[in-house]
Amino acid sequence: MIAFLGFITLLLLGFFVGRYLESRHFSSIRQREAELVVLPNTNSRYQLIPMQQIERSELVTGSVVISIDYFKRIVAGLRSLIGGPVQSYETLLDRARREAILRMKESCPGACQIINVRVETSSIYNAAGNGIGSVELLAYGTAIYGQVQATNGL
């Protein structure tokens, strides 16, 4: 009985607190994305904006480890019985990717553009090991500093 109550408490905590934290994180992501829209990034290896003069370029990275809440983990477990889209993991991956790319952008203030962006996903603390459904995201690219050519461009 006590175990059952504990389970219900964890479910409710996960549902309410997890949902609140996630929506707060998403609103922070949206706000920062709007602020950083001036720094374009591309996964093409060619420059997105023609540069008049390149001062320097450097490797920039951003990474994050995000875990799923208890409620969503149980729901995902149930979902795997019948198959179909696992929505709870979709939002987890979405916010982790966007956060990693935002951190990469934030790590190079003053840059004109980031080219050749790659995103790497991994999970060493997987559900089979210790029951933590978490995902590690690493985004990296080449930041270019310098003067942008005066065109109407993009």
Partner 1 sequence: MFITNTETLPGKTIIDCFGVVSGSTVRAKHVGRDIMAGLKNVFGGELRGYTELLNESRDQALQRMTDQAAQLGANAIVNVRFSTSSVAAGAAEIYVYGTAVRVE
Contact residues for partner 1 (CB under 8 A)?
10, 13-14, 17-18, 21-22, 25, 45, 47, 51, 53-59, 61, 63-70, 72-73, 92, 99, 115-116, 118, 120, 122, 124-125, 129-134, 136, 138, 140-142, 144, 146
In the complex, least distance from residue 61 CB atom to partner 1, rounded to whole angstroms? 7
Q: Which two three-digit tokens encode residue 5?
A: 């109550």
Alpha carbon distance 115, 139 (integer Å): 12
By beta-carbon proximity to partner 1, the closer residue of 35 and 118 is 118
By beta-carbon proximity to partner 1, the closer residue of 110 and 129 is 129
Helix/strand/coil percentages in the chain, nearest 5: 50, 30, 25
Q: What is the largest CA-CA distance in the chain?
A: 71
8 Å CB contact between 145 and 57? yes
By beta-carbon proximity to partner 1, the closer residue of 5 and 82 is 5
In the complex, least distance from residue 79 CB atom to partner 1, rounded to whole angstroms? 17
Alpha carbon distance 70, 74 (integer Å): 6
By beta-carbon proximity to partner 1, the closer residue of 54 and 78 is 54
